[in-house]
């Protein structure tokens, strides 16, 4: 599933090809994604793309008429096809290539989504839309810090892993990054949020920022892959300490990594580095 760093990488990857350009048309081959694709997208010929940015795991293409809001869902990806270089008329359209946004210069933003859980929606202003109303702060913003985590976690009996994956607490911390951050902070994923100390909250907020930043930096190295014959970006390989490593030795202490279902999601942790307090 694309997580925040992949969405951020997508924003940075597609922006140079699209910002400042005019939309020629948007071709929609499949309207049934997670939600029905907004009909307004059929009427955007002539709209100018002003900027492209990310909020949580949404990617917003802001035009002079309003906002196209994309979500990559479980399996969505974006690619750029450049007519001048790749002659898209000769590029076969794949089975899962559901949407093409074409500029007047012939550049195509192609959306591929095998599982169709993504979204292409239209809002006059994404930031005031109901989609964004209940979102917590961005993890890389100053508003997200130890104080914020400490304040919100009081009287919360939910496991800390679910707590940090809650979009109302902080956006964009998915299953992989929650597991990795808790390992680096030395906190057991099943610890009740209310039992976090102030110090642990500060540590956890700092680690979440550094883990995500590191992934975004790694993602940056794959930006050249945004122009590919198949239009798919090459997602970067994560260096994972615990996620998906059940039964393998911990890189810090050699103890075997364990896995446990917490809040219906598989959680990976080192039982020695991430002890529950007695």
Q: Which is nearer to Zn ion, 114 or 271 (CB)?
A: 271
Cβ 250 to Zn ion shortest distance, Å:
3
- Candidates 2, 88, 189, 233; catalytic one: 2
Q: Which is nearer to Zn ion, 68 or 191 (CB)?
A: 191
CA-to-CA distance for 189 and 170, rounded, in angstroms?
A: 16
Phi-psi region of 89 (alpha: psi -120 to 50; beta: other; left: phi over 0): alpha
Cβ 238 to Zn ion shortest distance, Å:
19
Our answer to whether residue 142 is catalytic in this structure is: no
Cβ 269 to Zn ion shortest distance, Å:
9
User: Which residues are CB-neighbours of 78 under 8 A, at least 6 positions away?
Assistant: 10, 13, 14, 59, 70, 72, 109, 110, 111, 112, 226, 233
Q: Which residues bind Zn ion (CB under 5 A)?
A: 250, 252-253, 255, 270, 272-273
Q: In the 3-class helix/strand/coil scheme, how is 89-105 assigned residue by residue?
A: HHCCCCCCEEEEEEECC
Cβ 255 to Zn ion shortest distance, Å:
5
- Candidates 48, 156, 265, 272; catalytic one: 265
- Candidates 6, 8, 57, 161; catalytic one: 57
Lookup result for tokens 């035009």: 63
Cβ 188 to Zn ion shortest distance, Å:
12
DSSP for 10-33? HHHHHHHHHTT-BEEEEEES--BS
Our answer to whether residue 92 is catalytic in this structure is: no
Our answer to whether residue 114 is catalytic in this structure is: no
Q: Which is nearer to Zn ion, 127 or 258 (CB)?
A: 258
Our answer to whether residue 3 is catalytic in this structure is: yes
In which element (H, E) is residue 79 found? Answer: strand 77-82
Reading the block at residue 9, the tokens are: 């990488």
Give me the helices (H) in the chain, please: 4-18, 83-86, 146-153, 160-165, 175-185, 198-220
Q: Which is nearer to Zn ion, 1 or 252 (CB)?
A: 252
**How many helices, marked H, and strands, marked E, lie in the chain?**
6, 10
Q: Which is nearer to Zn ion, 93 or 252 (CB)?
A: 252
Positions marked catalytic: 2-3, 57, 265
């Amino acid at each position: 599933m694309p997580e925040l760093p992949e969405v951020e990488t997508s924003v940075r990857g597609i922006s140079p090809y699209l910002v400042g350009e005019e939309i020629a048309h948007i071709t929609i081959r499949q309207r049934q994604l997670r939600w029905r694709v907004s009909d307004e997208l059929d009427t955007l010929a002539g709209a100018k793309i002003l900027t492209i940015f990310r909020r949580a795991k949404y990617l917003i293409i802001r035009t002079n008429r309003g906002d196209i809001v994309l979500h990559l869902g479980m399996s969505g990806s974006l690619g750029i096809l450049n007519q001048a270089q790749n002659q898209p008329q000769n590029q076969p359209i794949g089975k899962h290539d559901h949407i093409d946004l074409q500029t007047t210069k012939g550049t195509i933003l192609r959306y591929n989504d095998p599982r169709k859980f993504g979204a292409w929606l239209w809002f006059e202003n994404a930031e005031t839309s109901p989609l964004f109303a209940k979102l917590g702060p961005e993890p890389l913003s100053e508003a997200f810090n130890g104080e914020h985590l400490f304040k919100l976690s009081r009287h919360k009996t939910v496991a800390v892993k679910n707590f940090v994956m809650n979009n109302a607490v902080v956006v964009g911390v998915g299953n992989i990054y929650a597991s990795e951050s808790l390992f680096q902070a030395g906190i057991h994923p099943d610890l009740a949020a209310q039992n976090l100390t102030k110090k642990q909250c500060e540590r956890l907020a700092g680690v979440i920022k550094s883990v995500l930043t590191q992934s975004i930096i790694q993602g940056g190295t794959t930006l050249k892959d945004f122009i590919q014959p198949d239009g798919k970006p090459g997602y970067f390989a994560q260096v994972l300490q615990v996620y998906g490593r059940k039964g393998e030795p911990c890189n810090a202490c050699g103890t075997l990594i364990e896995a446990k279902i917490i809040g219906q999601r598989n959680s990976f942790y080192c039982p020695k580095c991430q002890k529950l307090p007695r």
